Amino acid sequence: MTTEIIPLGTSAAIPTRHRHLSSTALRWEGRLLLFDCGEATQFQLLRAGLKHSHLDAIFITHLHGDHYFGLMGLLSTMALLNRIEPLRVVGPAGIAEIVQAMPGVRHDDLTFRLAYVELWDDLRHEVVFDTKAFTVEARPLDHRVFAVGYRFQEKTQPGRLDVEQAKALGVTDYRHYRALKAGEVVTLDDGRVVQPEAVVGPPRPGVSFAYVSDTRPCEAGVTLARGADLLYHEATFTEDFKANAVKTGHSTARDAAEVARRAGAQKLILGHFSARYKDVSVLVDEARAVFQNTEAAEELKRYKIFPAGPEKF
């Protein structure tokens, strides 16, 4: 199944008629992760045809309202629909207290377990979600308030077993298939030996996605995006508002492109656009001068994440 991201909100600070507040969904094997949860995220999930019952975790970057005010409405809806699956909320310290202060989403009001992972401003690096198949790590960014960026990293998958080839070599027992897949040498009943390399392809590298917003361009952003298959980076302004970007703790489109280039990312998607830009193609043009494979995030569009290398398509 393909991994893809779906931007749900791409506007900075305030919504516009055509752009919503920050949120991006990542779809993996039918499950969902959410990066930021600005106001109206639950409506955007509906429009995107994504089910919040598939949501396993929500990662909040920082406690500016445009990045988390949607959390209360979304959690409240989940409770009204009697969700039972646990949900993880990751974000800066204080997020748990804020959510619990809202009637309808306090612990006692919920039908499901809400597990918080809170990050403190002395954070250097932390794996905040670790499953059999992927990890999500957090690193501190450079904004006006404590903010973190995230990287989703799928773990390396074992190579594919060529069943036809295995059968041709006389392997018929499913326990032998399993052993070969695990890299073990198999001896058949008639004494013949089958090496795993003869029937199993090379290990398949997992896909990676970095979410970097809000921030001035910074080293942690580069580290999070290192070799990433897809980087979503905020680009609030163009270079002619550089002074504004520095003052308010944001990046220009050129800054975002520099981060993508330095990190060796495969593809860059720009987001978190200032409301002053009706047409975001100026931001894309500016970024492409530095990093060609750039697009402006389009809300509700699905961006497939392809692993780098020969298995790309």
CB atoms under 10 Å from CB of 285, counted, come to 12
Nearer to Zn ion (CB atom), residue 214 or residue 229? 214
Query: Which of 154, 180, 160, 182 lies closest to 169, judged by CA?
Result: 180
Residue closer to Zn ion (CB basis): 200 or 269: 269
Q: Which stretch binds Zn ion (CB under 5 A): 35-43, 57-65, 155-163, 274-282?
A: 57-65
Select from 36, 154, 214, 299 the one that contacts Zn ion (CB under 5 A): 214
The nearer residue to Zn ion, 39 or 214, going by C-beta atoms, is 214
Looking at the Cβ atoms of 154 and 214, the one nearer to Zn ion is 214
Nearer to Zn ion, 64 or 254 (CB): 64
Shorter beta-carbon distance to Zn ion: residue 66 or 255: 66
* Binds Zn ion by CB under 5 A, chosen from 4, 39, 66, 229: 66
Give the helix/strand (H/E) hosting 208: strand 208-212
Q: Which residue number places its CB atom closest to Zn ion? A: 64
Q: Pick one of 19, 20, 64, 233: the residue that binds Zn ion (CB under 5 A).
A: 64
Token readout for 279 is 């047409």
66 is catalytic: yes
Q: Taking Cα atoms as reference points, which of 132, 129, 278, 94 lies closest to residue 209?
A: 129
Closest distance to Zn ion from the beta carbon of 236 (Å): 8
Give me the least distance between CB of 148 and Zn ion, in Å please. Answer: 12
Interaction pattern, residues 15-54, with Zn ion; x per rule: CB under 5 A: ----------------------------------------
Subset of 222-241 contacting Zn ion (CB under 5 A): none
Question: At closest approach, how far in Å is the CB of 272 from Zn ion?
Answer: 6
| Sheet bearing 55-59, strands edge to edge | 114-119, 87-92, 55-59, 31-35, 23-28, 3-9, 303-305
CB contact set of 10 (below 8 Å; sequence gap of 6+): 19, 20, 22, 271, 272, 273, 296, 297, 298, 299
Residues 153-172 that bind Zn ion (CB under 5 A): none
Rounded to a whole number of angstroms, the minimum distance from the CB of residue 62 to Zn ion is 6
Amino acid of residue 141: L
- Residue 232: burial class (beta carbons within 10 Å; 0-12, 13-18, 19+): buried
How many CB atoms are closer than 10 A to CB 23? Answer: 30
234 conformational bin, left if phi > 0, alpha if psi -120 to 50, beta if neither: beta
Query: Quick check: 7 and 232 in contact, CB under 8 A?
Result: yes
Stretch that binds Zn ion, among 30-38, 174-182, 185-193, 212-220 (CB under 5 A): 212-220
Catalytic residue, chosen from 36, 56, 66, 189, is 66
Instruction: Judge if the upstream peptide bond of residue 190 is cis by omega within 30 degrees of 0.
Output: no
Spatial contact of 236 and 215, defined as CB atoms under 8 Å apart: no
Q: Smallest distance from the beta carbon of 77 to Zn ion, in angstroms?
A: 23
Q: Which residues are catalytic?
A: 66
Query: Where does this chain bind Zn ion (CB under 5 A)?
Result: 64, 66, 214
